[in-house]
């Protein structure tokens, strides 16, 4: 056998075994995976609709993934559960509706797989996104103030305005009102919740 043939065969086998192991076998393992019907008759996970779907697009195009993961590791593989990032580990079924998934690899900030369960308050998310220093002094998360309209002293305060706590006002603005984009991101964050106890996540 010529050396060229052995080299070509080696390259072919390397590529073929990678494709088999990384694409074909996982696809075969998970293709039958379906949402689970919960005890209350609803399904988990549900598709993203309306504001949540729009919020997901914004999460992707703003690059939140560069600082946040959405995957809780099992006990014994880090402190994710001890830190309160989830009540159980993440499993493939959690991501059935996520195309593309937002697993992420960087954890400059906390994991957000279950942020909707951990922090359900829309007001908190609004203040935090507008200026992370308000809720989390010392945070290195950038401000996303363009998701909000500022309301100044003396202006009419709309119903959906969120008050900036006294002493935390960086300008004359006293309230913020989420724009469509702000509302969408918050709806998406509130929906992130992997706390339903899936049977396969017990092992």
In the complex, the smallest distance separating the C-beta of residue 86 from ligand HEC, rounded to whole angstroms, is: 11
Start-to-end CA distance of the chain, whole Å, equals 49
The smaller minimum CB distance to ligand HEC, of residues 62 and 87, is found at 62
In the complex, the smallest distance separating the C-beta of residue 197 from ligand HEC, rounded to whole angstroms, is: 21
Q: Which residues contact 24 (CB under 8 A, 6 or more apart)?
A: none
Burial class, 28, CB count within 10 angstroms (exposed 0-12 / middle 13-18 / buried 19+): exposed
The smaller minimum CB distance to ligand HEC, of residues 59 and 148, is found at 59
Q: Give the pair of three-digit tokens for residue 41.
A: 């008759």
The smaller minimum CB distance to ligand HEC, of residues 18 and 179, is found at 179
CA distance 66 to 128: 18
In the complex, the smallest distance separating the C-beta of residue 53 from ligand HEC, rounded to whole angstroms, is: 15
Residue whose Cβ sits closest to ligand HEC: 109
Binding site for ligand HEC (CB under 6 A): 59, 62-64, 66-68, 108-110, 112, 115, 118-119, 132, 136, 139-142, 144, 185, 189
Buried-state track 6-19, b at ≥16 Cβ within 10 A, e below 16: eeeeeeeeeeeeee
In the complex, the smallest distance separating the C-beta of residue 47 from ligand HEC, rounded to whole angstroms, is: 20
């Amino acid at each position: 056998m010529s050396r060229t043939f052995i080299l070509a065969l080696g390259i072919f086998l390397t590529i073929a075994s990678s494709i088999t192991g990384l694409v074909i076998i996982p696809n075969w393992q998970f293709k039958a995976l379906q949402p689970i019907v919960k005890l209350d008759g609803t399904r988990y996970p549900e598709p993203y609709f309306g504001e949540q779907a729009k919020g997901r697009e914004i999460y992707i195009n703003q690059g939140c993934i560069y600082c946040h993961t959405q995957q809780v590791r099992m006990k014994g593989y880090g402190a994710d559960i001890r830190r309160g990032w989830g009540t159980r580990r993440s499993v493939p079924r959690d991501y059935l509706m996520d195309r593309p998934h937002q697993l992420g690899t960087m954890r400059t900030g906390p994991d957000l797989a279950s942020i909707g369960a951990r922090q359900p308050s829309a007001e908190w998310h609004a203040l935090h996104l507008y200026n992370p220093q308000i809720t989390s002094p010392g945070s290195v998360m950038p401000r996303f103030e363009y998701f909000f309209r500022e309301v100044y002293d003396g202006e009419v305060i709309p119903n959906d305005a969120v008050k900036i706590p006294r002493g935390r006002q960086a300008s004359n603005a006293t309230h913020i009102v989420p724009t469509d984009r702000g509302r969408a991101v918050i709806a998406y964050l509130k929906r992130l919740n992997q706390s339903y106890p899936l049977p396969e996540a017990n092992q």
